[in-house]
Amino acid sequence: MAEDSGAEKTEQPTPKKLQDAAEKGQIARSKDLGTAFVLISSAAAMLMFGKMLAVGVLNVGQRMLRLDQKDMFETNSMFTAWSEVGKELIPPLAAIFGFILVAAFVGNCLLGGFNFSWQAAGPKASKMSPLKGFKRMFGLQALVELGKSILKVAVVVTVAYLLLKLFFMDIMALSLMSEPNNIESALYVLAWLFLGLCSSISIIALVDAPYQKWNHIKQLKMSLQEIKDEHKNSEGSPEIKARIRRTQMQMSMKRMMQEVPTADVIVTNPTHFAVALKYDQGKFRAPVVVAKGVDEVAMHIRKIGNEHKVPVIESPALARSIFYTTELDHPIPEQLFAAVAQVLAYVYQLKMYKKGKGSRPKTLAKELPIPADYRH
């Protein structure tokens, strides 16, 4: 909202806010964490497969330097040599690069998880704006990156000095060794030096990863008004929801009133409650409530019933019991069968009497057989 643009954003981002940001490619990422994983895995791969690679390099070198007169005049010698080179070097190199590839994927997904966004991949005019580019170059984020770069140089130089001092005698001893021990030892020392230097980057990553997480949450923080607006948009406007409920109630009421003329009897309180029952022996196993209501709705049910000559029977206890225990368009519970049966029998006898086909029925009992737990 425009009037809320200057509101203080003090609230944590909602799950929806985080999901929307992820769809736009805005997730917490630490380049230093990914770099540290790649470099450390490279050093670890060299330690695991370095000896295999060194032996392969040695065998290739020896093969290339052993040339006889036959090899010099054989046109297929070069192709044969390349085949041997592949057999010696492809397995260790494939293992090293595969190890690095897995580490690169894990390192970059460790913070923020795996995420791909077409919106982030698409071109943006803001990225080509000189003004915004100037702000990125001299903004707070640029200062933070500058500080990190200075810290990286300081840490790497310090660790490099300590490693050279630690392995100085081993490096000098390489000149006294003969092949193939000198090649294996050189790769071993190089791998440990590389691992030490790469481990120094992890110090930066341990600081950068929590900062990137904190900075990401900070950028997505919301004001109270934004949270209210999001809730309103996701759940729907209360006014619209109320209007929908009113429309649904009106449609349900209209349909219910259309069923009243088809009822066999209307049981009343006599003024506060009204329940319309319909019993079709061929269709229902028990009488069904086709309409019910209280106060004004009950009065409307009685009015429609009188207009269509539907018998209206006063039985306060039974009317309340059916109203509270039976939903609309549902059959009455078995516990009320006996009481409702007496009402329907009375209505049937009354109709026959009015047609002149029977005697006047006895007055309906005031106390119908309603279980105590069904009385309301």
Domains and CATH numbers, the chain: 10-233 (no CATH), 258-374 (3.40.1690.10)
Angle, nearest 10°, between helix axes 15-23 and 181-220? 120
Whole-number Å distance between alpha carbons of 204 and 200: 7
The mean pLDDT value for 68-85 works out to 69
Residue 180 pLDDT more than 70?
no
Whether the per-residue pLDDT at 325 is higher than 80: the answer is: yes
pLDDT of 1 strictly over 70: no
Residue 37 has a pLDDT of 83
The larger pLDDT score, comparing residue 38 to residue 281, is at: 38
Helices (H), the chain: 15-23, 31-65, 69-73, 77-109, 118-121, 130-138, 140-166, 168-173, 181-220, 224-235, 238-259, 296-307, 316-325, 337-354
Contact, 40 vs 198, CB < 8 A?
Answer: yes
pLDDT the model gives residue 120: 54
Lowest mean per-residue pLDDT among 31-40, 185-194, 235-244, 367-376: 235-244
d(CA 134, CA 157): 31
pLDDT of residue 3 exceeding 60, the answer is no
User: Over 70: is that where the pLDDT of 6 sits?
Assistant: no
Cβ neighbours of residue 301 closer than 8 Å, sequence gap 6 or more:
257, 260, 266, 274, 276, 291, 292, 293
pLDDT tens digit string along 232-262? 666 656 666 677 677 767 777 788 788 888 8
Count of CB atoms situated within 10 Å of the CB of 348: 15
Residues 6+ positions from 258 with CB-CB distance below 8 Å: none
Per-residue pLDDT, 132 = 62
Give tens-digit pLDDT for 127-168. 566 666 666 666 666 777 777 778 778 888 888 888 888 878
In this prediction the pTM is 0.43
Q: Grade residue 78 by pLDDT with cuts at 50, 70 and 90.
A: low
CA distances from 190 to 46, 50, 54 (A): 9, 10, 12
Predicted local distance difference test score (pLDDT) of residue 181: 64
pLDDT confidence of 79, banded at 50, 70, 90? low
